[in-house]
Structure 1
């Protein structure tokens, strides 16, 4: 008897709330069945930080900064199939609410003019990724093969898709 090769799956969260990963965990005991079929590469589930060659990449969240762009390109390069999961990945979701403001106005409002900010300043640390002018859905940056809608999609919807 030969063992079937497990599919390699990578997941990540970009500009979003992590709700899609929580829904992924909501497939409950079916996770055990899934673990018989797949091996996780990069994922917050196993805390691996870099994406190697994978069969499937699952990404939640929109693209709001230079690091998100880098991670998304890394996933597209390394994953045979790329799946956008949730409203933020598909259309920018709540993070895209800032798209009607220019970036300077947005940063000024958040870091300088909000009540309670006596000595506020706009962060300018080289360790922080540079924000983009707009939040973009994934398909505006790379080719996406499949979309799982919802905010967040249910665990059952994710299970049925997988």
Structure 2
């Protein structure tokens, strides 16, 4: 029996969902009987190969995030939006109430502790989007794993269901929208 390939990526977020993914602890070792990890915090692989399940944390703040997400979606049979940032923009979407220019000025010109006021303009910096977007506004998402971050138990449950060929179903006690 061939193993299921799982890949993960992080866009505009805090990497907390990946840390929570690792909270599956020793259950990760048990999963290794059935899965192999492609791009993930366990492998340091930079580009995803074709895989069965893709987990994405973080929202879309810049053009690079959009490019990475579209490339990732093309490689994944099943895509799971993980955490508040991927599902609704999360904390990064707090900037949606302001223009990009206002955000840049606050951070680089008017912010507390700014010693050398200058907005970066290096052409290598990714182009900021006018708003932070959740994943489903750019690609098709198959499942959502809510939370900030979702608990390790929720990761284990959704992956176990998918490995068993079942539709994922999380108990209400495991769903967190905070």
* TM band (smaller chain): over 0.9
Structure having greater relative contact order (Cα 8 Å, sep ≥ 6): 1
Partner of 1:17: 14
**Aligned equivalents of 2:75 and 2:8: distance in 1?**
12
Alpha-carbon shift at residue 82 of structure 1 (Å): 0.5
Q: What does 1:71-86 align with in structure 2 at a 5 Å threshold?
A: 71-86=68-83
In the alignment, which of 90, 93, 97 is matched to residue 100 of structure 1? 97
- RMSD over equivalenced CA pairs, Å: 0.9
Partner of 2:116: 119
TM-score, length basis structure 2: 0.87
Deviating more after overlay: 9-18 vs 120-129: 120-129
In the alignment, which of 121, 124, 129 is matched to residue 132 of structure 1? 129
Partner of 1:87: 84
Per-residue deviation, residues 82-107 of structure 1 (Å, max 9, x unmatched):
00000010000000000000000011
**Aligned equivalents of 1:116 and 1:56: distance in 2?**
43
Alpha-carbon shift at residue 126 of structure 1 (Å): 2.0
TM-score, length basis structure 1: 0.95
The structure 1 segments of at least 4 consecutive aligned residues displaced by more than 4 Å after TM superposition are none
Aligned residues: 159
Corresponding position: 1:149 with 2:141: no
Per-residue deviation, residues 112-160 of structure 1 (Å, max 9, x unmatched):
1112213221111122111111100000010000000001010011111
Per-residue deviation, residues 6-49 of structure 1 (Å, max 9, x unmatched):
11111011011111111110011000011111111112321110
Per the alignment, do residues 138 and 105 of structure 1 end up closer, same or farther by CA in structure 2, a change over 3 Å counting? same
Question: Structure 2: which 5+ residue stretches go unaligned?
Answer: 160-178
Alpha-carbon shift at residue 110 of structure 1 (Å): 0.4
**Aligned equivalents of 1:120 and 1:18: distance in 2?**
29
Corresponding position: 1:59 with 2:18: no
